[in-house]
Amino acid sequence: MDSQQDVTVKNWDGTWTYHPRVKVRPESVEDLIEIVTDPVRFPSPVRPAGSMHSTARMNGDDDGGTMVDMTAMNRILHFAGDTVTVEAGVTHGELAKALRARGLQPYITTEIGNTTLAAFACAATKDSSFPDGYGQVSSYVVGVRYVTPEGEIREITEESDPQGMQLFRSSYGLFGLIFEVTIKVHPTMALSVRHYSLSLEEFRKFFPIYKARGYAVMYYIYPYAKRVVVELRKQHPDVKPTSRIRWQYRNKFWKQYAPAIATWIDTKIKNPKWRASAHDAVFRLQRRLMVLLMRYEHSWPHAQIITYPRKPKVFYLFSMWSFRESDFFDVLDQYCEFCIAYEKGTGFRCNLPSVGYSICRDCEALFSYTWEGPGMSIDPASTGGPEWEEFLHAYNDFCSERGGTPLFNQTPFLTREMVRRAFGARLQKFAAARAERDPKERFLDQHFRDFLS
């Protein structure tokens, strides 16, 4: 296996920089056992890494430790009934492509195709929920095989240990190095999609109707105009998918053109009022184009997945908090006022629309962001920079004060108090389970030590 000493590693967009003592790229389970059982060559903490697409700091301490790049273990192993078993480094995009060839699809075709299945298995991901479904991919993971801190190979399944799986789905690599994942899949269903531009009041009024009619609801938030574009999705199990072209245009826009336009405006237009007016004009055009053009009939669900370049020239960053559905529309009103007031006070505005998802109740993972009931998220987005990071600190305070729930891997700059307020006794339960499984702290880095201590 490839091994490097004292390297500098950045995550996919360059926001986070790591300086592991050792970076290693295993190709087999035997390699993983060697890594875990040799603390001299591979010092603690031992932290796994996949696509490194998390917006929070997830892959090790600032200095020292061992970063385990799992991307060389990337085989799709076997299909069995309504499940597929893959190695840890297989990406969501690769799996979806293989499933499509067999007339299958994941239960959740979340947007980011770079994410590895090991990350899906033990970290939080999100998408809008279809009726009676889940919002996080890990909830559909029914089994994992992993290497323990002692170098032993273990297997845990939903059938044999449902409570253990509940813990593992939120373990973030702190229980062991996952090398094999089994996830549920189902036959491909054609997807219809519609977009509607609404005021905040209209969104509040129509949302119960959308749910009653069985739609999965995603939405783009334009806080400075106090409007949303609602994306309604519905599955059609008895219809053959026929189209994907419009998804390709949509993916190209959010992957490249939208952040490029926003970056150009911020770079070229120096006058703050003119710059804000330019962003407002682009946002108005976005809303109209989505309603007019982004209408899909019987499309391939796999086509909505986007694979991002490893070192993009332009990109968008995001953060995420979920709120109880019963409180959400009041929080949404307050969020728009918060963004407007923050711009007035600091001159900074998010140069991309915020995004959100309607998510069913999900208790399959201990750190689920809809543990207590259905939720709806608010995910600000931007092309980044120091002012964006300062905004996120203020946004975290805003959300925590309103009872929001964050994601460890997609909500940067969390504090210990925010985490305790959001998860309460669940945090204590997880801390005890982690200490029992890894008493010598082979996998525990400072990022999680701060939260769990």
pLDDT, tens digit (0-9, with 9 covering 90-100), for 80-136:
989 999 999 999 999 999 999 999 999 999 889 999 999 999 998 888 899 888 988
In whole angstroms, what separates CA 227 from the centre of its chain? 24
pLDDT band at 329 (very low <50, low <70, confident <90, very high): very high
Distance CA 279, CA 266 (A): 9
**Which residue from 4, 57, 27, 45 is spatially nearest to 389, judged by alpha carbons?**
57
Question: Is the confidence at residue 246, as pLDDT, over 90?
Answer: no
Question: Is the confidence at residue 311, as pLDDT, over 80?
Answer: no
- The pLDDT tens digits of the residues spanning 407-441 come to 999 999 999 999 999 999 999 999 999 999 999 99
**Residue 18: what pLDDT?**
93
The residue type of 434 is: R
Taking the alpha carbons at both ends of the chain, their separation in whole angstroms is 34
Tell me if residue 365 falls in helix, strand or coil: coil
Distance CA 200, CA 13 (A): 32
Question: Is the confidence at residue 318, as pLDDT, over 80?
Answer: yes
pLDDT band at 278 (very low <50, low <70, confident <90, very high): very high
Question: Is the confidence at residue 402, as pLDDT, over 90?
Answer: yes
CB 39 within 8 A of CB 442: yes
**Mean pLDDT on 355-359:** 96
**Residue 62: what pLDDT?**
78
Q: Please identify which residue in the block is written with the tokens 């120096």.
A: 270
Mean pLDDT for the chain overall = 95
Q: Which residues of 239-248 are buried (b: 16+ CB within 10 A; e: fewer)?
A: eebeeeebbe
Write the CA distances from 333 to 114, 228, 247, 266, integer angstroms: 33, 11, 30, 26
Question: Is the confidence at residue 323, as pLDDT, over 90?
Answer: yes
Q: From start to end of 237-302, where are the E strands?
A: 296-299
**Mean pLDDT on 39-52:** 96
**Mean pLDDT on 395-413:** 97
CATH architecture of 190-418: 3-Layer(aba) Sandwich (3.40)
**Residue 377: what pLDDT?**
97
**Residue 244: what pLDDT?**
86
Low-confidence winner among 29-43, 44-58, 123-137, 417-431 (lowest mean pLDDT): 123-137
**What pTM did the predictor assign?**
0.95
Question: Is the confidence at residue 181, as pLDDT, over 80?
Answer: yes
**Mean pLDDT on 378-393:** 96
- The pLDDT tens digits of the residues spanning 208-225 come to 999 999 999 999 999 999
Distance CA 217, CA 205 (A): 14
Low-confidence winner among 36-50, 230-244, 260-274, 365-379 (lowest mean pLDDT): 230-244
Distance CA 344, CA 173 (A): 41
H or E element in which residue 429 lies: helix 425-437
The angle that helices 425-437 and 416-423 make with each other, rounded to 10 degrees, is 110
Domain locations along the chain: 190-418
**Residue 393: what pLDDT?**
98
**Which residue from 331, 341, 348 is spatially nearest to 405, judged by alpha carbons?**
331
pLDDT band at 442 (very low <50, low <70, confident <90, very high): very high
Question: Is the confidence at residue 310, as pLDDT, over 80?
Answer: no
